[in-house]
Amino acid sequence: MNPAIQACYFVAAVLFIVGLKSMSSPKTARKGVIWAGAGMLVATLATFFYGGMDHYILMIVAILIGGVGAWYSGRKVAMTDMPQMVALYNGMGGGAAACIAGVELFSGEVQAGSIGFLVLAVVGAFIGAVSFSGSLIAFAKLQGWMKKALRISGQHLINGGLLVIALVLGALIMALASLSWALIFAFFAFSLVLGVLVTMPIGGADMPVVISLYNAMTGLAVAFEGFAIGNPAMIIAGTLVGAAGSLLTSLMAKAMNRSLANVLFSGFGADEGAQSEGPQGEMKSMDPSDAGISMAYSSHVIIVPGYGMAVAQAQHKLWEFVQLLQKHDVDVKFAIHPVAGRMPGHMNVLLAEAGVPYDMIFDLEEVNDEFATADYSLVIGANDVVNPAARTNKSSPIYGMPILNVDKTQNALVIKRGRGTGFSGVENELFFAENTNMVFGDAKDVCAKMVAAIKDL
Amino acid sequence: MITGFIALYIFMLAAFTGYEVISRVPVILHTPLMSGSNFVHGIVLVGTMVALGHAHGPLELAIGFVGVILAAGNAVGGYVVTERMLEMFKSSKGD
């Protein structure tokens, strides 16, 4: 590789690190992505001069197809649909890593080289292929193309079997170190099917963990393929993402108090063992305008948004309501649970879209002690993340998950469409508590009514 | 070609860098972290370009071609959505 190209890759790697570092503060985050974008541009342009390459026209056509399509879809997508777009682009990255391995394996070049590179190419191909098909399934589920969490009986056995077959095929490719098309095809096919079957049974509320995991996996796949073809920019960028993504994944899993294996392999909500002792009593309901006026006359309100807010597109009305509260000198804060929504950071995006400044948004650790002193907490479309059973009921499937202490506020208000249970199928005793009032209705309508009520004061 | 232990050193250092760069993760940063890192692995584009550039025969060409499309989608799409999301983030002190 010529030194000028090496230098460009080096600059790109530095820009990626600087960019990622800048992304760890909301003030500089936007600059960070521009730095990283510049790095990407430098590396891509340099690659055109790599030397010994053909098919430039095909290459440019492919870049245009992928780039223009993604540019267009990325510009057009609504903020509420961000999780599936992130899943889709991530899957494409995984697929691309698998394609590199495909070309290398079918050409027989890696087999001819040292065993180390062959192993990396095959492992990267496996991870990339699983991330590709898995992310596409996650996309389809989030997009609503696949409504049910499909569970086949003996799922674990089938998945385990597929995993073993894919690994054996991969090992055979390494051991034989020769070119067998059938073997390579079978290896890719089994890896792809495995990604599909692993992702199928995973429910919507686990999506933040899954998306984050596939992101980390794509990063690793890119790094491995970078080793296999000797490309330092790919090694460094891929490893960075692999590490950062793993950190984020473990954070997500911890926020649900479940291990990664549990998220991936348990049929969560499939076996309802602990339904015997549901909470007793009546839900009290409150009129939206009463709820709005009561909060306007209080001094401290904490708002807990969840996926229901995204579904109802209620963020704009909610922010309008919050601004009215602020005019009445109410101290308002937003409390966000790490796994609220369908991807890490889903709620931040929606609140930012509505115009909520990020210094009003707080972490679970930052804000949890404040619930005890707040006059009102307003839960909007969240359920399991505020269920006190996670603290008290050992038999509950969500037992041990850190929750927002809404039940400790003086008055809890819960906006909810109906009386049903949450994703986990667990009744929420918060809804039956003495100091809780339910405000039934579509989140957006309820917010509009609360706004109207305060304006009439 | 980067070989053996040099490769291992690069891997180890990059992994630590990735981990350290994001040492504490407040909830507000989950978005850029998620979507920004999704963009960064779009660097796979350079690998697919090299693979396509060196491909022989219709099968390799087809796989390489698809690879470049997918990678370009990852890079461009990842950038666009990250930029769009971060553009909206602002503080109440107005900056």
Q: Closest-CA residue in chain A for B68?
A: A62
Q: What is the pLDDT of residue A62?
A: 96
Give the H/E segment covering residue A143: none
Asked if residue B40 lies in contact with residue A240, where contact means CB atoms within 8 angstroms, the answer is yes
Q: Which residue has the tokens 């909206």?
A: B88
Chain B residues near residue A233 by CB distance under 8 angstroms: 43, 46
CA distance A93 to A218: 6
SS3 call for A439: strand
Q: What is the pLDDT of residue A146?
A: 77
Nearest to B18 by CA among A156, A239, A302, A131: A239
Q: What is the pLDDT of residue A267?
A: 53
Backbone phi and psi for residue A300, each to the nearest 5 degrees, phi listed first: -145, 120
Q: Which of B52, B72, B91 sits opposite A55 (nearest CB)?
A: B52
> Could you read off the pLDDT tens digit of each residue along chain A, which spans 457 residues?
688 999 999 999 999 999 988 887 888 888 999 999 999 999 999 999 988 888 999 999 999 999 999 999 999 998 888 899 999 999 999 999 999 999 999 988 888 778 888 899 999 999 999 999 999 999 998 888 876 666 677 777 888 899 999 999 999 888 887 778 899 999 999 999 999 999 988 877 788 889 999 999 999 999 999 988 888 899 999 999 999 888 888 888 888 887 887 777 765 544 434 444 456 677 888 999 999 999 999 999 999 999 889 888 999 999 999 999 999 999 999 999 988 888 888 898 899 889 999 889 998 888 999 999 999 999 998 888 898 888 888 887 788 888 999 999 999 999 988 776 655 566 788 888 888 999 999 999 999 999 999 988 8
Chain B residues near residue A26 by CB distance under 8 angstroms: 28-29, 32, 89, 91
Going by C-beta distance under 8 Å and a sequence separation of 6 or more, which residues neighbour residue A318?
A303, A305, A309, A354, A380, A443, A447
Q: What is the pLDDT of residue A300?
A: 94
Asked if residue A457 lies in contact with residue A296, where contact means CB atoms within 8 angstroms, the answer is yes
A55–B93 CB contact, under 8 Å: no
The two structure tokens encoding residue A41: 């541009």
**Dihedral angle over CA of B62, B64, B70, B71, nearest 10:** -170
Report field, pTM of the whole predicted structure over 0.90:
no
Q: What is the pLDDT of residue A158?
A: 86
Asked if residue A138 lies in contact with residue A94, where contact means CB atoms within 8 angstroms, the answer is no
Q: What's A280's DSSP letter?
A: P
The two structure tokens encoding residue A419: 């009386």
The residue of A8, A23, A350 whose CB has the most chain B CBs within 10 angstroms, and thus the best one to mutate to test that interface, is A23
Chain A residues near residue B45 by CB distance under 8 angstroms: 40, 43-44, 47, 63, 96
Q: What is the pLDDT of residue B69?
A: 97
SS3 call for A114: coil
Q: What is the pLDDT of residue B58?
A: 93
Q: Quick check: is A369 catalytic?
A: no
Query: Distance, in angstroms, between A21 CA and closest chain B CA?
Result: 5
Asked if residue A444 lies in contact with residue A415, where contact means CB atoms within 8 angstroms, the answer is no
Nearest to A88 by CA among A124, A118, A125, A131: A131
The two structure tokens encoding residue A143: 């997009």
The residue of A40, A99, A234 whose CB has the most chain B CBs within 10 angstroms, and thus the best one to mutate to test that interface, is A99
Per run of 10 residues, the mean pLDDT along chain B (length 95 residues) is 75 87 73 88 95 93 96 96 87 67
The residue of B27, B29, B48, B86 whose CB has the most chain A CBs within 10 angstroms, and thus the best one to mutate to test that interface, is B27
Backbone phi and psi for residue A362, each to the nearest 5 degrees, phi listed first: -125, 150
Indicate which residue of A81, A290, A384, A407 is catalytic.
Answer: A384
